[in-house]
A and B are shown apart, each in its own frame.
Chain A
Amino acid sequence: MSNKDDRPDMKRREFIGKTVLAAGAASVAPGVLLTVAKAGGKSRGVSSDVRYGLLIDTNKCADDCTACVDACNRENGIDLVERPKGQSDDDWNAQRPQWIRKVQLKDKQTGEITNLPMMCQHCEFPPCVDVCPTGASFKRADGIVMVDRHTCIGCRYCMMACPYKARSFIHQNVAQQLVNAPRGKGCVESCNLCVHRIDAGDMTTACQEACEKDGHQAIVFGDLKDPDSKLAKLLKTKSSRQIRADLELNTGVRYTNV
């Protein structure tokens, strides 16, 4: 037996109910699909029969030379990124993108000096790929680790995760880009082993080319899985190691004499 005077106020409940339904419909209606990001696997395109990598001989790396860095900046349009007006040197150096950098080390015990270029190590088990929430950071079938900037949301978690600090974030609007290297504000990027060159059939990276031209020949690029490649042959004869080898990431970039 219902007594109309005892009924609680239904208007508020109806309002809440309708609002929740509307909000639910509005979020589901656009046909949002849950897609799990997958890496590679199609029949055409690059395959895992090859794996690209670098061998860097730090003995041949010269003291004040930045040929590889300059070449990379030119090749990938990094030198087109302009310093924001009025920004200090320190801030600009901390925020500008750098795909490759020269590092000079001194042994704490013996005082021995070592020079080497440092860039994305193209790990077989990249921490940056593991942590990317959208799968934008991915490893291509041929071993190149790169960022799909269409999916990158700019969360910078990959930058936290990279053991080599290889990634850079674009902190400002970019006015000019090269066709080969699209780059824009809010996305993360890193060395991609000059993938535009490799895909076009030119098996040299800009850094390797510049180092050769300068006469040092410290950088060798090649296919790690091809036993006849110069890189594979050198790796067999020289004693090389990975940086931070204890992390067992099986990097594609190896170093000798460090």
Chain B
Amino acid sequence: MKKTHYSELWCSSPRFWGGLTFLAFIILLGLGATYYMEHQGHWVTGMSNQVVWGLPHVFAIFMIVAASGALNVASIGSVFGGPMYKPLGRFSALLAIGLLAGGLMVLVLDLGRPDRLVVAMTTFNLKSIFTWNILLYTGFFVIVGLYIWTMIDRKVNKYYQVTGYLAFFWRLVLTTGTGSIFGFLVAREAYDAAILAPMFIIMSFSFGLAFFIITLISAYWWAGRTLGELRLAKLKHLLGVFVGAVLYFSMVYHLTNLYITQHHGVERFILLDGGVYSLMFWLGHVLIGSIIPLFLIYSPAFASSRFAIGAASVLVLMGGFLQLYVIVIGGQAFPMNMFPGKEVVTSEFLDGVVASYIPTTAEGLLGIAGIAVAMTMVAVGSRMLKVLPENLEDPKDLEHA
């Protein structure tokens, strides 16, 4: 069996430093936007007492969900014993850490009182799923850190299997927790559903793998290393399965709601009347996020096109982002039905009307800065540590990677 040689990612200095400078610039813009929002108060954002979680939260949840899924490739290599995936394990773990860090950064900076982060990290209400998420995210960093260590350091390599299993189960719990943030809310018709937890898990698989494919292709192009067709095809087909599964879960969620008379209002809103939300659902989630990528992945016309794989991954991410936008913001925009059988004639607190939410530039800059932080961590990590195999050519003997 040929031994995989890992080495630091090397590309010409101007390219590397140029890329880092660009990312740093985006991060600075985001931090400036955060300072503006924190200093003035949230009145400068589009968020209100009706739509309390906005664009930053969509970005944050998107990245956190993707982080958990990005570790999937490593899990397949260790837990499920897939030899073609094993060399990708280190990079997968690095990407997971980077995405989670970026997502958490956005989440924390959008708090009404980010100066109270210490309070959030020390005072816990154990009945709150939010608290459990905080504990799970912290644990994720520790466990994935240990996981990477067992992969890189030969001395602790014997713990590789154990940490692999631990990481796998930990992130299943973590993503279940993230989905339950919404699933546990009885108040809103769009939430309050147990299916949200497994739906978030399958979304994590899909977004995480899409992120992984894009960053892998980019990294290898950047450094001029070879990436084998067969390995990429395996990743592509896996992505296809996940995208199909996400579509299935989404279908079950909406079909069930359509059967329940009580939920007809919110379903009509999301699928038909919701204006921008309906558009995002059909065009974004269904068409751009699911159908077109499935076509790009499975159509024989694109079987050997690397561009198609990259494009499919990008579209999956775009569609996933829009799907989360509909879930998070569309779910809040639809009014709560406090008085069934009655319609609200007047209310100064905007009861009974669809809430309007227009994201502001500052919120968008904060969200994008989170992605930039993730990419920076991945870039610096790849450059400093031996996480990327020098050569990912397809093995000549397919039984041994």
- Asked whether the complex places CB atoms of A and B closer than 8 A, the reply is yes
A residues engaging B (CB < 8 A)?
Answer: 32-37, 69, 84, 87, 90-91, 93-95, 97-98, 101-109, 113-114, 118, 127, 130-135, 151-157, 159-165, 167-173, 185-188, 243-244, 247, 258
Which residues of B sit under 8 angstroms from A90, Cβ to Cβ? 356
Q: Contact: B123 with A37, CB < 8 Å?
A: yes
Nearest neighbor of B120 in chain A, beta-carbon distance? A153
Q: What 0/1 pattern do residues 186 to 225 of B give for CB contact below 8 A with A?
A: 1110000000000000000000000000000000000000
Q: Contact: A172 with B43, CB < 8 Å?
A: yes
| B50 at interface by CB-CB < 8 Å | yes
Q: How far is the CA of A37 from the CA of B116 in the complex (A)?
A: 15
Please provide the chain B residues from 321 to 346 with a CB less than 8 Å away from any CB of chain A in the complex.
Answer: 332, 336, 338-339, 341-346
Q: Contact: A91 with B48, CB < 8 Å?
A: yes
- Extra contacts besides A93-B350, A151-B116 (11): CB < 8 Å: A69-B348, A105-B343, A106-B342, A114-B342, A118-B351, A131-B130, A132-B130, A157-B130, A160-B52, A164-B336, A169-B112
Which residues of A sit under 8 angstroms from B341, Cβ to Cβ? 107-109
Which residues of B sit under 8 angstroms from A244, Cβ to Cβ? 338
Which residues of B sit under 8 angstroms from A109, Cβ to Cβ? 341
The verdict on A101 contacting B348 (CB below 8 Å), with A131-B184, A169-B42, A187-B112 known, is: yes
Which residues of A sit under 8 angstroms from B126, Cβ to Cβ? 36
B247 to chain A, nearest CB (A): 26
B49 to chain A, nearest CB (A): 5
Q: Contact: A133 with B125, CB < 8 Å?
A: yes
Q: Contact: B50 with A153, CB < 8 Å?
A: no
The verdict on A154 contacting B185 (CB below 8 Å), with A33-B122, A159-B49, A185-B41 known, is: no
Q: What 0/1 pattern do residues 123 to 156 of B give for CB contact below 8 A with A?
A: 1111111110010000000000000000000000
Nearest neighbor of B50 in chain A, beta-carbon distance? A94
In this complex, the member of A69, A91, A168, A171 whose beta carbon has the largest number of chain B beta carbons within 10 angstroms is A171
Which of A32, A101, A105, A131 contacts B349, CB < 8 Å?
A101
Which of A37, A84, A103, A152 contacts B112, CB < 8 Å?
A152
| B113 at interface by CB-CB < 8 Å | yes
Which of A154, A168, A188, A243 contacts B338, CB < 8 Å?
A243
Q: Contact: A185 with B112, CB < 8 Å?
A: yes
Which residues of B sit under 8 angstroms from A33, Cβ to Cβ? 122
Q: Contact: A168 with B112, CB < 8 Å?
A: no
The verdict on A164 contacting B128 (CB below 8 Å), with A32-B121, A93-B348, A185-B41 known, is: no
| B1 at interface by CB-CB < 8 Å | no
A205 to chain B, nearest CB (A): 19
Q: How far is the CA of A27 from the CA of B77 in the complex (A)?
A: 33
Q: How far is the CA of A210 from the CA of B351 in the complex (A)?
A: 23
Q: Contact: B124 with A37, CB < 8 Å?
A: yes
Q: Contact: B124 with A36, CB < 8 Å?
A: yes
Q: Contact: B41 with A170, CB < 8 Å?
A: yes
Which residues of A sit under 8 angstroms from B348, Cβ to Cβ? 69, 93, 98, 101-102
Q: What are some 10 contacts across the A-B interface (CB < 8 A)?
A: A94-B49, A98-B348, A133-B130, A135-B124, A151-B119, A155-B120, A163-B187, A169-B49, A185-B112, A186-B112
Q: How far is the CA of A32 from the CA of B119 in the complex (A)?
A: 10
| B117 at interface by CB-CB < 8 Å | yes
The verdict on A153 contacting B116 (CB below 8 Å), with A104-B346, A105-B344 known, is: yes
Which of B125, B134, B338 contacts A132, CB < 8 Å?
B125
A229 to chain B, nearest CB (A): 27
| B260 at interface by CB-CB < 8 Å | no
Q: How far is the CA of A14 from the CA of B346 in the complex (A)?
A: 67
Q: How far is the CA of A141 from the CA of B9 in the complex (A)?
A: 60
Q: Contact: B123 with A151, CB < 8 Å?
A: yes
Which residues of B sit under 8 angstroms from A87, Cβ to Cβ? 43
A21 to chain B, nearest CB (A): 13
Q: Contact: A171 with B42, CB < 8 Å?
A: yes
Q: Contact: B127 with A172, CB < 8 Å?
A: no
B residues engaging A (CB < 8 A)?
Answer: 38, 40-43, 47-50, 52-53, 111-114, 116-131, 134, 181, 184-188, 332, 336, 338-339, 341-351, 355-356
Q: Is the interface of A mostly helix, strand, loop or mixed?
A: loop
Q: Contact: A35 with B347, CB < 8 Å?
A: no
A71 to chain B, nearest CB (A): 15
Q: Contact: B344 with A104, CB < 8 Å?
A: yes
Which residues of A sit under 8 angstroms from B344, Cβ to Cβ? 103-105
Q: Contact: A164 with B349, CB < 8 Å?
A: no
The verdict on A187 contacting B113 (CB below 8 Å), with A103-B344, A103-B346, A243-B339 known, is: yes
The verdict on A160 contacting B336 (CB below 8 Å), with A103-B347, A114-B342, A133-B134 known, is: no
The verdict on A106 contacting B48 (CB below 8 Å), with A153-B113, A243-B339 known, is: no
In this complex, the member of B50, B121, B127, B339 whose beta carbon has the largest number of chain A beta carbons within 10 angstroms is B339
Q: Contact: B129 with A186, CB < 8 Å?
A: no
In this complex, the member of B52, B124, B131, B338 whose beta carbon has the largest number of chain A beta carbons within 10 angstroms is B52
In this complex, the member of A90, A95, A109, A165 whose beta carbon has the largest number of chain B beta carbons within 10 angstroms is A165
Which of A91, A134, A172, A188 contacts B124, CB < 8 Å?
A134
Which residues of A sit under 8 angstroms from B347, Cβ to Cβ? 101-104, 118
Nearest neighbor of A185 in chain B, beta-carbon distance? B41
Q: How far is the CA of A58 from the CA of B128 in the complex (A)?
A: 35
Nearest neighbor of B41 in chain A, beta-carbon distance? A172
Nearest neighbor of A128 in chain B, beta-carbon distance? B187
Which of B120, B128, B188, B343 contacts A108, CB < 8 Å?
B343
Which residues of A sit under 8 angstroms from B336, Cβ to Cβ? 163-165
Q: How far is the CA of A37 from the CA of B346 in the complex (A)?
A: 39
Which residues of A sit under 8 angstroms from B134, Cβ to Cβ? 133
Q: How far is the CA of A131 from the CA of B122 in the complex (A)?
A: 16
Q: How far is the CA of A94 from the CA of B49 in the complex (A)?
A: 6
Q: How far is the CA of A151 from the CA of B124 in the complex (A)?
A: 11
Q: How far is the CA of A152 from the CA of B355 in the complex (A)?
A: 25
Q: Contact: A160 with B121, CB < 8 Å?
A: no
Which residues of A sit under 8 angstroms from B187, Cβ to Cβ? 127, 160-163
